[in-house]
């Protein structure tokens, strides 16, 4: 569904890049979204780079590309690079306009967190109030909650067990709570990433490696199992051939 956070965040990225590319505060908010919740979702939810699946490619790209774009702007864009390395001066650990750490935490953590909270409230109202009846009628309509809970249930992983601590009827509320903790933690991590080129490079390598590794695991482990199950179901659906009758003379 297009109200999911990844689409919300990518829409803000496009607005920033197309219309407000010189707005440093908006850039920092976008940086926090891209290298916070979106980037870590790629790792935690095991997004897989599988070229034979359009859905999987799109999923990887909308979570991976924004971080790569803002990494490039942060460290290699000529304007910001010049600000980082004024001619005749020593290398600086951060941009000249970010000397106050409270300023850094405000625009990389607090403001993005407020924007995320706004999305979460709107998402809850749309999914659980405005479109509740439609979603109840059509279980095939995918929301981020449905898709992630489906993955977690199938894997029976820690996320599925944690979301069920208050019972199945409260899984949605637990999902919102856990996603809130995830968002706070990942946005906080964007501060040291923003300040360290080396750490940021390592993070890019980690994201790309994770998506490739998950893609390889899918091709070598999941797809063969799916093919075997498909053939098994096909053979079970075929009518049993009648045994030939032999006339006894």
pLDDT tens digit string along 124-148?
787 776 666 665 566 655 566 656 5
What confidence tier does 67 reach under pLDDT thresholds 50, 70, 90? Answer: very high
Dump pLDDT digits (tens) for 142-194: 566 656 566 555 555 566 566 666 666 666 777 778 888 889 999 999 999 99
Residue 2 clears pLDDT 50, i.e. is over it = no
Q: Where are the domains of the chain?
A: 1-221
Helix (H, G, I), strand (E, B) or coil at 157: coil
Q: Scan for tokens 């019972």, then name that residue.
A: 167
Closest among 41, 38, 46 to 66, alpha carbons compared: 38
Tens of pLDDT, residue by residue over 10-40, are: 999 999 999 988 888 899 999 999 999 999 9
Q: Which of the listed ranges 82-91, 108-117, 121-130 does the model predict with the highest average pLDDT?
A: 108-117
**Cβ-contact 45, 151 below 8 angstroms:** yes
pLDDT grade for 246, boundaries at 50, 70 and 90: low
User: Of 46, 13, 74, 30, which Cα lies nearest the Cα of 155?
Assistant: 46
Chain centroid offset of residue 47 CA: 8
């Amino acid at each position: 569904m297009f109200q999911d956070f990844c689409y919300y965040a990518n829409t803000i990225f496009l607005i920033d890049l197309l219309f407000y590319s010189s707005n440093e505060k908006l850039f920092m908010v976008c940086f926090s979204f891209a290298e916070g919740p979106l980037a870590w979702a790629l790792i935690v939810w095991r997004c897989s780079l599988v070229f034979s699946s359009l859905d999987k490619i799109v999923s990887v790209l909308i979570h991976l590309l924004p971080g790569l774009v803002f990494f490039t702007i942060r460290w290699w864009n000529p304007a910001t690079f010049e600000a980082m390395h004024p001619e005749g001066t020593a290398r600086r650990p951060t941009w000249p306009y970010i000397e106050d750490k409270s300023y850094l935490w405000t625009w990389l953590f607090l403001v993005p967190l407020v924007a995320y909270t706004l999305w979460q409230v709107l998402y809850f109202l749309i999914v659980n109030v405005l479109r509740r009846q439609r979603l109840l009628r059509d279980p095939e309509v995918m929301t981020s909650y449905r898709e992630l809970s489906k993955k977690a249930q199938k894997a029976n992983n820690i996320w599925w067990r944690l979301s069920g601590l208050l019972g199945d009827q409260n899984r949605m509320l637990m999902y919102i709570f856990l996603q809130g903790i995830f968002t706070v933690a990942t946005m906080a991590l964007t501060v040291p990433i923003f300040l360290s080129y080396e750490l940021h490079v390592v993070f890019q390598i980690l994201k790309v490696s994770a998506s490739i590794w998950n893609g390889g695991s899918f091709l070598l482990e999941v797809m063969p199992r799916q093919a075997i199950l498909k053939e098994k179901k096909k053979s079970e659906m075929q009518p049993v051939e009648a045994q030939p009758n032999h006339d006894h003379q």
